[in-house]
Structure 1
Amino acid sequence: MKRIIWPLISCVSLGVGGLLGSYHQRRIERPSCDDIVQSRWSIFTHAATAKKQLPTPGPPNRSGEIMKFGFPGYDEVRTHDNYVLSYDCRMRNPKWVFECLTREDVKYNDAITRTNCQFEIDQLVHPFFQSTNEDYRGSGYDRGHMAAAANHRRSDGVMQQTFLLSNVSPQIGEGFNRGIWNELEKYVRTLTKKYAKVYVCTGPLYLPYKEQQRTFVKYEVIGNSVAVPTHFFKIIVGETSTQLFDLRAFIIPNSAIPDETHLERFLVPVDVIERAAGILLFERLPKNALRSVNAPL
């Protein structure tokens, strides 16, 4: 009997002892309320301190090292006496041309005429990307001004600058350059009698077209890869003497257009031009002073 009882007692003792030991161990390992509060306070204070610390500075900018041997290109902006131009080296065309005209700029002076001017290469453009008179020879296209020569009659020198070929794009002659485009340029000059200043932005476009349910951009090139634009845009902003503004925006296809076609047919929203040309125009024009957009001519 003793042989049976003593082993049982030993087993029970070991079991109870193990349970008590395990319970005691858990009590030791389990944190008290004070421990929890202290721990959370430490986390809070650490986070608050971390917010005040300045971020670790990153490595120094390496653009100077990376571009040690020069950038592939910059926006080719040229400033002249009476207009500003951005040149597109890939297309051998201007991207855009800006003018600010007054009545004095366009005032007729029989001593200053285009007969005294000659088209010439813009020597500030790299020879790889220059447009030349030879490019136009036999092409069937006119050398169409973006900043019109007749807009700049202050002096012979000022007018001659408009004959730089960086200010020129290939244009259909009869029905466009000598037709509706000329009418639009004349219209701009008449506005100088109405407004204190007339701001003009002009440029070429290469617009897509649909063919067999697909969209393409297709344009001709002449001479030394001089692109022939499919369309041209002109945005005109008239500023009154009281700083109010009227805006008109045009897109006209580079094609022969019947003489009886009215300019109003080609009025478009400004954002149509911006999206097509990839530029933002007249961003700083105060919107609360914009009196009209594409009002009847």
Structure 2
Amino acid sequence: MKHIFYRLLCIGLLSGFVISCSDDSVSPAEVRDNPLAMGNPSGATTDPASYTNYLLEKPQYALSYHRDRGTPNWVSWHLSKAWLGSASRQDNFAPDNTLPTGWFRATSASYTGSGFDRGHNCPSADRTGSVADNAATFLMTNIIPQAPNNNQRTWADLENYCRTLVNGGNELYIICGSYGRGGTGSEGQANTIADGKITVPNRIWKVIVVLPAGTNDVSRVTADTRVISVNTPNTSSLNPEWATYRTSVDAIEKATGYDLLSAVPASVQSAVEARVDDGPVN
């Protein structure tokens, strides 16, 4: 009986040690956080009657979709090392079958011959943790008509810089969106593509909240937190240096009518949203 007691005691102690080690081994950088932790910029809902501001929540990102434009208004996601891995680019552009019945569902063919790239909002390279994560970025509700040089140079460099920040020990909350009508791609200027079913945006913007990897993220946003805001024209003649287009959150809010960091305390919002970032760019 005594031997059984000691055996049970040892098993209990060992189990406790394993659990303790398991908990301690999960670093903040390995956590996948809520993509809407900083707020729902437009108050999007899942009511199909909100067809210009319809909320879609994926495991990988959240977005507001505009039925009549055939594109997202904005896409919001969290980026930490937990989202990065070795999954390859899937290139499996596909209609989003979670849209309400009867709504237009863009396909890859909707962009064929348009002169515009199928531009990701949440980038493929931000979701390489698994094949499923990467495939989700190729749903057409995450895609906009984007001028080739905007997509492949200016925007690509900014996306790469975001991942550099993550590899440096940070986690990011990113909101990307577009507005206006009319851009210039490789075939010239256009207001719409796909026989008028998809609106070509005039401007493409992004807001990036940079935090050291940690927990309780919203509470850690302070007046000194780095927030990078960029707003580019949707043309192929733009400057390849994304820093040229740095602006303030306030300016993007004025242009879109959104409340971009609504979950952050008002006093902190006032400070970070008025500032134009002047930090490093690579």
TM-score by length of 1: 0.65
Of 80-89 and 144-153, the range deviating more from structure 2 = 80-89
Distance 1:117 1:274 in 2: 32
The aligned amino acid for 2:259 is L
Distance 1:273 1:288 in 2: 17
Distance 1:269 1:219 in 2: 28
Check whether the contact 1:93–1:167 (CA below 8 A) recurs between aligned residues.
Answer: yes
Q: Which residue of 1 aligns with 2:208?
A: 236
The aligned amino acid for 1:139 is S
1:60-114 CA deviation, whole Å, 9 max, x = no partner? xxxxxxxxxx97435311111121111111111101100111023134x1xx111
Check whether the contact 2:247–2:276 (CA below 8 A) recurs between aligned residues.
Answer: no
Secondary structure of 2:247's counterpart equals coil
Deviation at 1:207, TM superposition (A): 6.6
Distance change (3 Å), C-alpha of 1:249 and 1:238:
same
Deviation at 1:293, TM superposition (A): 5.0
Distance 1:253 1:264 in 2: 13
Q: Which residue of 2 aligns with 1:296?
A: 279
Deviation at 1:137, TM superposition (A): 1.3
Distance 1:207 1:229 in 2: 5
Q: Which residue of 2 aligns with 1:146?
A: 121
Distance change (3 Å), C-alpha of 1:82 and 1:280:
same
Equivalences for residues 15-54 of structure 1 within 5 A: none
Secondary structure of 2:113's counterpart equals coil
Check whether the contact 2:181–2:191 (CA below 8 A) recurs between aligned residues.
Answer: no
Distance change (3 Å), C-alpha of 1:232 and 1:288:
closer
Check whether the contact 2:111–2:194 (CA below 8 A) recurs between aligned residues.
Answer: yes
Which runs of 5 or more structure 1 residues have no equivalent in the other structure? 1-69, 209-217
Question: After TM superposition, where is structure 1 displaced by more than 6 Å over at least 4 residues in a row?
Answer: 289-292
Given the alignment, which residue of 68, 88, 94 partners 1:90?
68
Distance 2:103 2:254 in 1: 28
Distance 1:97 1:153 in 2: 18
Distance 1:156 1:71 in 2: 30
Distance 1:187 1:257 in 2: 21
Secondary structure of 1:147's counterpart equals coil
Check whether the contact 1:219–1:230 (CA below 8 A) recurs between aligned residues.
Answer: no
1:272 aligns with 2:251: yes
Distance change (3 Å), C-alpha of 1:129 and 1:275:
farther
Which runs of 5 or more structure 2 residues have no equivalent in the other structure? 1-46, 183-188, 215-219
Secondary structure of 1:192's counterpart equals helix
Q: Which residue of 2 aligns with 1:187?
A: 161
Given the alignment, which residue of 28, 50, 64 partners 1:73?
50
Check whether the contact 2:48–2:54 (CA below 8 A) recurs between aligned residues.
Answer: no
Distance 2:165 2:154 in 1: 17
Q: Which residue of 2 aligns with 1:162?
A: 137
Check whether the contact 1:151–1:189 (CA below 8 A) recurs between aligned residues.
Answer: yes
1:228-265 CA deviation, whole Å, 9 max, x = no partner? 11110000001124735210100011111466x42221
Check whether the contact 1:195–1:238 (CA below 8 A) recurs between aligned residues.
Answer: no
Given the alignment, which residue of 135, 159, 164 partners 2:110?
135
Q: Which residue of 2 aligns with 1:23?
A: none
Distance 1:130 1:97 in 2: 17
Q: How many residues are treated as equivalent by the alignment?
A: 214
Q: Which residue of 1 aligns with 2:173?
A: 199
Distance 1:221 1:207 in 2: 8
1:260-292 CA deviation, whole Å, 9 max, x = no partner? x42221011111111222211012224449777
The structure number with the bigger radius of gyration is 1
Distance 1:277 1:141 in 2: 23
Higher relative contact order (CA closer than 8 Å, sequence separation 6+): 2
The aligned amino acid for 2:208 is I
1:106 aligns with 2:78: no
Identity of aligned residues (%): 27
Please report the RMSD computed on the Cα atoms of aligned residues, expressed in angstroms. 2.6
Distance 1:293 1:141 in 2: 29
TM-score by length of 2: 0.69
The aligned amino acid for 1:230 is N
